[in-house]
Structure 1
Amino acid sequence: MPRFLHTADWQIGRYYSRFDNDDAVALAEARYTAIERLAQLAVDEQCDAVVVAGDVFDAQTVSDRTIRRVFNALAAFEGPWVMLPGNHDAALAESVWTRAQRLGAVPGNVHLALAPGVVELPEQAMVVLAAPLTQRHTHSDLTEAFDQWQTAPGLIRVGLAHGSVQGVLAEGIDSANPIAPDRVERARLDYLALGDWHGVKQINPRTWYSGTPEPERFRNNDAGVALVVDISGPGTEPIVTPHRIGQFEWVQWREHLSVPTDLDQVLTRLDELEAPAVLDLRLTGEVDLAGERRLLQALSVAEAKHRSVQCDRSGLSLQPTDDDIAALNADGYLGDVITELREQQASDDGARALPARDALALLTGLLMDRSGANASAADGNGTRVSGEQPS
């Protein structure tokens, strides 16, 4: 009974320009770690083979070092790997794959499916029908050739392709590299292993997208997974088992704060978020000074706990209460400045509103620090703190 690992969309060489350099490097490094985890999973699950459904590399222009690191990361699993070029690493006349071959980086147990055809794995009781992309985009279904390819009886027929199943995936991505939704029936496939969609998705019992093994987008599409596939014999329905591979969970929250309990809920979710995560948080609404301080404290704690925490507070209005203003002792000129900044913050002109919010946060923060310092100085000069017993 053949058992194989289905994975895709490694996107090695991707750079995360939206993040700070330290985070960008760590996220890129996690993609290499994902390959090592895949190899170890294949060993642990006693897989007979690994099939990779395209986009091993994010671009044709990755460095020689990157190419060597990818193939070095396969070392734990010594069985056959079948790798398919996708749209990011298409099998051009001169490509990342031809460079890998010239470098001598491709191990003997790795089969590069650089041309359409059948990869025979008789020891594993399976054959892989491969439809590599030889250019970034095509408008014909390359898997149509599977219908005509004959293979030895008694061997599992596994299709390997990279593209979009027509009429199934989201509108707007069905235009290039099309794949017929009934290809498994037409080509008598026992399983069709697909890449291009970056999350796990079952099209039918025999057709699956494995998704990327390491998430790289803020989408709720169950990324970070690899599939272990068991097929007891030709014509039998496969048993597909997802395995979590990803190191970082990518989480995106959009929260509007209207009342204090809204902030309480956000801070609770932040505290309970399982580490390590990559968090993109956008807050709108309004918050008072005490809430602002609590939020900044919670974000500071989260930044040390998670891989990356990015919080957009440009839509979050800072609204000191009357009690806040009174506690700052901001009368006279300072009181007038705070009032003016509050008015500018409410402006529809973003060029005025955002700087006003930042200035208000800075000014009130300084005043709160000064109030705290004055209170501490007073306590040190003989003023008893509430609750303290005289000696």
Structure 2
Amino acid sequence: MPRFLHTADWQMGRTFSRFEAEDGAALVEARFKAIETLAGLARERQCDAVLVAGDVFDAQGVSDRTIRRVFNATQGFDGPWVLLPGNHDAALVESVWTRAQRLKSVPDNVLLALTPGVITLDEQGLAVLCAPLTQRHTYSDLTAAFDRYETPGHLVRVGLAHGGVEGLLSEDIDATNPIAADRAKASRLDYLALGDWHGTRQIDERTWYSGTPEPERFRNNDAGNALVVEIDHPGSQPHVEAVATSQFQWHQWREALSVNSDLERLIERLQALPATSVLDLRLSGEITLDGDERLNHALSVAEARIRSIQCERSSLQLSPTQEDIATLQADGYLGNVITRLRDLQEGEQGEAARDALAILATVLKDPRGESAS
């Protein structure tokens, strides 16, 4: 009964420049930790092999240090690893893979599927049919060659490929590399292990995307898993178990605020986030000055507790109430200024007006420039 781990889209060498330096560094390190987690999972589940369906590296030009660290991270599992080039790390004549070989950083148990064909793992009961990408984009189905590959009848027949299943995935998938929707059946595969879609997704009973083991995008596509696959014997239906592997959880919230209860619910959600969260928050609607102060406090507390928060609030208008203005003691001229800034938020100067209103409210609440207690 062969049991193997299916993973893909490690994207090693990816940078996170949109984040603060400290957060970006933590997200980079999490990707190396993910490989160690995969090795530990393969060992604990007594897997016969680890199959990586492309995009091990995010680009051809990653550093030598990154290359060495990737292969060092596999040491926790001494069974065979089969690594397939994807669209980000295609098996070019000169590539990240040829550099890794020159660096002599590839362990003996790590097999690089740099050319199309079959890797036979007789001891593990597996025949791995490989369709590596030799250029970033192809316009023919490289897995069509699987139809012609003959494998020993006693071995489980597993396809390993990187690309988009035709007609089933959205147009924003990374690569143009097409894969026939019926490939597993047409090529007599017991299982087809795919990469390129960064979330875990079942295509049919024998075809799966594992997704990336550590999320790196704000998409609700069930990323952060690896698949443990068991197949009793050639021809039997695979048993597939998705196992969570991620260190960080990425969340994308779009919140429209209009009444006080909206703000209360948002603050409660912020408080409930685990420390391993990466949050992209975009706010719209209206908020009072008092509500804005409470929101700022909640965001400040959350920023110190979770991994990262990025908050976009240019579409959130400050709408001071009469109580806000009375609290600020902004009668007469200042009251008129506040009203004018509130109205300007509707036009081309909206963002500048909102910032000015927030600054004015802060100054009026604490004219000495000291933080409010």
With the shorter chain as reference, the TM-score category is over 0.9
State the partner residue of 1:381: none
Residue equivalent to 2:183: 183
After TM superposition, give the deviation of residue 371 of structure 1 in Å. 9.5
Q: Which moved more, 1:269-278 or 1:134-143?
A: 269-278
Cα distance in 2, alignment partners of residues 92 and 213 from structure 1: 25
The aligned residue for residue 297 of structure 1 is 297
Aligned to 1:361: 358
Q: Equivalents in 1 of 2:135, 2:327: separation in Å?
A: 67
> Does 2:304 align with 1:307?
no
Q: What is the match of residue 338 of structure 2?
A: 338
Map of 2:47 onto structure 1: 47
Counterparts of 2:171 and 2:294 in 1: how far apart (Å)?
A: 42
Alignment RMSD: 1.7
Q: SS where residue 74 of structure 2 aligns?
A: coil
* 2:21 match: 21
Alignment of 1:260-299 (within 5 A): 260-299=260-299
Query: Distance in 2 between the 1:174 and 1:43 partners?
Result: 31
Greater shift after overlay, 109-118 or 19-28?
19-28
Check if 1:317 corresponds to 2:296. no
Deviates more, 1:273-282 or 1:123-132: 273-282
The residue correspondences of 1:226-241 to structure 2 (distance < 5 A) are 226-241=226-241
- The answer for the alignment partner of 1:151 in structure 2 is 151
Counterpart of 1:380? none
Q: CA deviation at 1:212?
A: 0.3
Shift in Å, 1:372: 11
Q: Assess, with a 3 A threshold, how the Cα gap between structure 1 residues 172 and 4 changes in structure 2: closer, same or farther.
A: same
* Partner SS state of residue 124, structure 1: coil
Deviates more, 1:21-30 or 1:102-111: 21-30
Q: TM-score, normalised by structure 1?
A: 0.92
Shift of 1:48: 0.6
Cα separation, 2, equivalents of 1:3 and 1:110: 17
Deviation at 1:273, TM superposition (A): 1.8
CA contact (8 A) 2:174 2:197 kept: no
Q: Secondary structure at the match of 2:57?
A: coil
Aligned residues: 372
Distance 1:174 1:247, change over 3 A: closer
Amino acid at match of 1:335: G
CA–CA distance in structure 2, aligned partners of residues 323 and 80 of structure 1: 69
Per-residue CA deviation, residues 276-318 of structure 1 (Å, 9 max, x unaligned), is 1110111111111111111001001110111110111111111
Preserved CA contact (<8 Å) 2:163 2:175: no
Residue of structure 2 in register with 1:204 after alignment: 204
Q: Secondary structure at the match of 1:217?
A: coil
Q: Distance in 1 between matches of 2:246 and 2:294?
A: 31
Decide whether the 8 Å contact of 2:213 with 2:246 is kept in 1.
yes
Deviation at 1:331, TM superposition (A): 2.4
Distance 1:371 1:333 in 2: 20
1:326 and 1:185 mapped to 2: Cα distance? 73
Structure 1 residues without counterparts, runs of 5 or longer: 377-391
**Secondary structure of the equivalent of 1:123?**
coil
1:328 paired residue number:
328
What amino acid is the match of 2:361?
Answer: T
- List per-residue Cα deviations over 1:205-253 (Å, max 9, x = no partner): 1100000001011111000000000000000000000000011111011
TM-score between both structures, scaled by the size of structure 2:
0.97
Q: Which runs of 5+ in 2 are unaligned?
A: none
